[in-house]
Structure 1
């Protein structure tokens, strides 16, 4: 059994948290928490397909220049090659799952402004 309480934890970005729920080469599932006003670097994956599912709060996803607001119990799929950036533009923390197939490790290209 795996849970947020016993999963391997890591910090990323500006005080964001992540927990590895499934950590395999063919699939990565992480539970992430982003405080208000935080964001990740805009990027894309050449091979990995991702699905973001919000557990609580509200996640803003910029996808190919279009802004999507994902609310609790909603999700958004990101196909390989699409440029995207997760942000928390709300005044509250957001928690969500990121499901990647295959793992995005070694398959991420960060973009500058």
Structure 2
């Protein structure tokens, strides 16, 4: 049995949490929690296909320049090579599951921020 309580934990970004529920080369399943106002770097995966499923809160997913507000019990698929960024634009934490097939390890390419 695996749960957030006994899974391998890590911290990413600005105080965001992740728990590896499945950590295999052919599939990665992570439970993530993002505090209010946090975001990940915009990036893409050359091979991995992902599915984000929101458990609590609202996740804003920027996908190829279009923003999607994903509420609890909703999800969004991210195809390979699609540029995307998960954000929490709300005032409350958001928790979600990310399923990646195959794993994103070694398959993440950050997009430089070109704000001026």
1:82 offset after TM fit, Å? Answer: 0.2
Structure 1 unaligned residues grouped into runs of 5+ = none
Query: Structure 1, residues 88-111: CA drift from partner, whole Å, max 9, x if none?
Result: 000000000000000000001100
Paired residues for 1:1-113 under 5 Å: 1-113=1-113
Stretches of 4+ moved more than 3 A in 1? none
Q: Measure, in 1, the Cα distance between the counterparts of 2:104 and 2:10.
A: 16
Cα distance in 2, alignment partners of residues 103 and 53 from structure 1: 17
> What is the number of equivalent residue pairs in this alignment?
113
Any stretches of 5+ residues in structure 2 without a counterpart?
none
RMSD of equivalent CA atoms = 0.3
- Cα offset for 1:112? 1.3
